Chain A
Amino acid sequence: GENVEQHPSTLSVQEGDSAVIKCTYSDSASNYFPWYKQELGKGPQLIIDIRSNVGEKKDQRIAVTLNKTAKHFSLHITETQPEDSAVYFCAALYTGTASKLTFGTGTRLQVTL
């Protein structure tokens, strides 16, 4: 089955700096890679996703890059703000069959003033 590794487990940045979270996956058939943000006591919310036919996707201050050859993908947050503080999860999925999302172990991002 799929295995997703995520690094770092914790990340502290100053407001305005950039944050990068990296994930690797094991199943070369995976073709969908979402990122979720989880605030304290709440369920995860999808913030951005990328499919295997695209190398990069941006949405305002958030971007995701995918390297299929190396089987890794990354989340980039620019101009970080205190409200970006949360736990971020990456995930991988093969959409061709009825399958389940496999999640990374999460990164706790702390944006300090």
Chain B
Amino acid sequence: DGGITQSPKYLFRKEGQNVTLSCEQNLNHDAMYWYRQDPGQGLRLIYYSQIVNDFQKGDIAEGYSVSREKKESFPLTVTSAQKNPTAFYLCASKLFAEAFFGQGTRLTVV
């Protein structure tokens, strides 16, 4: 089946630790995106990548980092510099116009 897989579904992190969220797609899409969603809020763009080995900051990139070494993979690292990391993180990929989302990772800082 084609689609976007995010893992893990739930993630707990201690304050001061970095953590990496996985996003893999087998749709052969060039563009991939990371969004953050807080309770009752919309989708805010963290980082996006239009092509392998290239990525751009979104609206709330501070405290996050990404890499795009392979077309199918776009991992997001939440660093200790992110002051309020507890949120629901969504990965998406896009070919031309239509975007497809993964099922999300809920990150909780304990």
Give the interface of A toward B (CB within 8 A).
6, 32, 34, 36, 41-46, 49, 51, 89, 91, 93, 95, 98, 100-101, 103-106, 108
Contacts and interface: CB of A to CB of B under 8 A. Distances in A.
- Chain A binding surface, main DSSP class: strand
A49 B94 CA distance: 14
A43 B104 contact: yes
B98 A105 contact: no
Interface of B: 4, 6, 31, 33, 35, 40-43, 45, 48, 50, 58, 90, 92, 94, 96-104, 106
A91 B97 CA distance: 11
Given A34-B98, A42-B103, A46-B98, A100 B41 contact: no
A93 B96 CA distance: 10
Nearest to B33: A100
Given A42-B103, A43-B104, A44-B101, A89 B96 contact: no
